[in-house]
């Protein structure tokens, strides 16, 4: 195996330190019992992409405008695929969740694997998929909030969230457009 160049090692080391420093800041700033409860509850809505699947299913049922049902169902498929692919990446990477001395996580997690964040992956896949069906802010603001909630609760490094956002967006962009039924 070839040696890693010294400058690359320094950059990687600095990135790891920055990731941890931002995590510590997220885990220690703007915390109070009320905020932690509210953010923990909000974050749980994003488990398994369930809120995004529910949004797509509801849109498919209620949005009667021509050709829209296919778009909503496409979004549901994208979120499901994003969740599955996220899990596959987690199994391959095997990065463990953060452990901060004296700062236990504020919510339970489905697994001990952290990279990439499934909340972020499914949220950004959904935001990209549904942005043409609703105002973009209506899906991107909650997606960002889901992503930010994970380091705040101490269960993801910030890099997990960024990687999830990139993965989810890439999945949605790569997904073929839906054909409306005639």
Q: Among 1.10.760.10, 3.30.420.40, 3.30.70.260, 1.20.144.10, what is the CATH number of 6-174?
A: 1.20.144.10
114 in Cβ contact with 157 (< 8 Å): yes
Mean pLDDT, the chain, integer: 93
Mean pLDDT across 122-129: 98
Q: Is the pLDDT of residue 19 over 80?
A: yes
Q: Which spans in the chain are helix H?
A: 6-28, 33-44, 50-62, 68-93, 118-130, 136-152, 158-174
pLDDT recorded at residue 28: 92
Distance CA 90, CA 72 (A): 27
Question: What phi and psi values does residue 113 have, to the nearest 5 degrees?
Answer: -90, 145
Higher pLDDT: 18 or 181? It is 18
Query: Is the pTM for the entire model greater than 0.85?
Result: yes
Percent of the chain topping pLDDT 90: 84
Q: How far apart are CA 178 and CA 150, in angstroms?
A: 32
pLDDT the model gives residue 26: 92
């Amino acid at each position: 195996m070839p040696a890693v160049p010294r400058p690359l090692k320094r950059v990687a080391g600095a990135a790891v330190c920055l990731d941890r420093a931002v995590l510590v800041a997220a885990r220690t700033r703007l915390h109070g019992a009320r905020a932690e409860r509210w953010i923990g509850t909000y974050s749980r809505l994003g488990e398994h992409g369930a809120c995004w699947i529910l949004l797509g299913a509801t849109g498919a049922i209620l949005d009667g405008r021509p050709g829209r049902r296919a778009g909503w169902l496409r979004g549901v498929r994208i979120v499901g695929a994003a969740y599955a692919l996220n899990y596959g990446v987690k199994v391959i990477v095997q990065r463990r969740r953060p452990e901060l001395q004296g700062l236990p996580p504020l919510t339970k997690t489905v697994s001990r694997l952290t990279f990439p964040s499934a909340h972020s992956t499914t949220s950004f896949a959904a935001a990209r998929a549904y942005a043409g069906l609703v105002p973009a802010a209506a899906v991107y603001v909650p997606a960002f909030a889901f992503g930010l909630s994970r380091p705040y609760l101490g269960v993801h490094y910030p890099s997990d969230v960024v990687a999830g956002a990139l993965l989810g967006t890439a999945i949605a962009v790569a997904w073929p457009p839906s054909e409306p039924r005639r």
